[in-house]
Structure 1
Amino acid sequence: MTDDDGFREFVHARLGRLSRIAYLLTGDHHSAEDLLQNALVKIASRWSKVSAGGAPDAYLRKVLYHEHVSAWRRSRHLRAEWPTAEPPEGGSGRDLAADTVRRVLLEQALAKLTRKQRAVIVLRFVEDLSEADAAAALGVSVGTIKSQTSYALKKLREQAPELHVLVREPKEAWA
Structure 2
Amino acid sequence: MMDIVFISKLIIPLLILTILFSALLTKTDAYSAFVSGGKEGLHMSAELLPFLVGMMAAISVLRSSGLLLWITNLVSPLFLHFSVPAELFPLFLTRPISGTAALSITADLTHTFGPEHMISRLAAVIQGSTDTTLYILTVYFGAVGIKKMGRALVVGLLADITGMILAVAITVWYFQNVWS
What TM-score results when the alignment is normalised by the length of structure 1? 0.27
Tell me which structure has the larger Cα radius of gyration. 2
Q: Which has the higher helix share?
A: 2
**Bigger relative contact order (CA 8 A; separation at least 6):** 1
What TM-score results when the alignment is normalised by the length of structure 2? 0.27
